[in-house]
Amino acid sequence: MRLALLPLALLAAPAMALSPEEITGATYDGGTVPEGQSGLTFKLQVLLDRADISPGIIDGYKGGMSESALRAFESREGFEVDGLLDPEVWSALGGGEADPVLRDYEITEEDASGLTEEIPDDVREKAEMDRLGYLRVSEKLAERFHMDEDVLIGLNPGSGFSAGETITVAVPGDRLDADVARIEIRKGDRRAVALDGEGNMLTSYPVAIGSEETPSPSGEMEVAAIAMDPTYSYLPDENFVADGVEEKLTLPPGPNGPVGSVWIDLSKPTYGLHGTDTPAKLFENRSHGCVRFTNWDIEELAHMVGQGVPVEFVE
């Protein structure tokens, strides 16, 4: 059962938590980014986000999501695609002249309201709830600022994440406003690429795709419908059985629901593009055949597509 008995901020922060000073003081003098977590990688992730190439979560860790984002940026901008930071790429991202990647934010009463007290594990119990909302203020704000929740907490030691408190947050890019003419789900890269009418990359997002047991589809289909804040139809006869529950159920909406905050329905029955309740595990988990995005990425994409937009699954 997913509980919210105590704010995470009241628990011990991660032992190797990044500090604001490490992030703001990070500089790039050549070479590759450090292994593990670093202020430089945090800054790089923010700059990629601002360049409309999603790193997934901003957490400061060198890993699959941020490296795939770097390759996507290199591809769009015409650089050698190797996923390695170099002075040319850093300059193209505006690294030396970038605005601060952190800022102060005062938590509002609205931020601290509308939380869900707990979310049960059992699918039948979830179906009895009114909403599968955020469990903690820190979780809610981490998604708003495209951050990993543990990193947000680590940047603000001692914070109770209560209304009126001022905390430190990342400064990601604004939501992209464009017309997407085509989407490619590039399975090998684990990225979803949005293209304009001339085939140019507008943006790229990290995604979770299906496993060998429950693979994502192949070929081309199209967007059939878009649902914001959707309910979820649990159909064990058509999809999969969870918790031994074999009857059809409708789960309530919310960012912590099985499809997150958006469902983009595809013309192939039962398949869609959707959000997730575990953005930090996007590159670790596999889906049941659909394509999972972070909630903030799928919300951005949903505002740029319409019914009939082609979606191709590229092997």
The DSSP-derived string for 283-296 is: TT--BSSSEE--HH
Helices (H), the chain: 20-24, 39-50, 64-77, 87-92, 123-127, 137-144, 149-155, 295-302
Using CA atoms, how far apart are residues 63 and 313, in angstroms rounded to an integer? 24
Has 303 been annotated as catalytic?
no
Kindly name the residue from 146, 288, 290, 303 that is annotated as catalytic: 290
Has 290 been annotated as catalytic?
yes
Burial class of residue 107, CB neighbours in 10 A (0-12, 13-18, 19+): buried
Q: Which of 216, 229, 241, 235 is nearest to 311 (CA)?
A: 216
Q: Are 158 and 148 in contact (CB under 8 A)?
A: no
Q: Are 124 and 249 in contact (CB under 8 A)?
A: yes
99 to 27, 73, 95, 178, 185: CA distances (angstroms): 13, 19, 9, 24, 32
Residue 22, C-beta contacts closer than 8 angstroms, at least 6 positions apart: 38, 39
Length of the chain: 315
Kindly name the residue from 146, 274, 288, 303 that is annotated as catalytic: 274
Which active-site residues does the annotation give? Answer: 274, 290
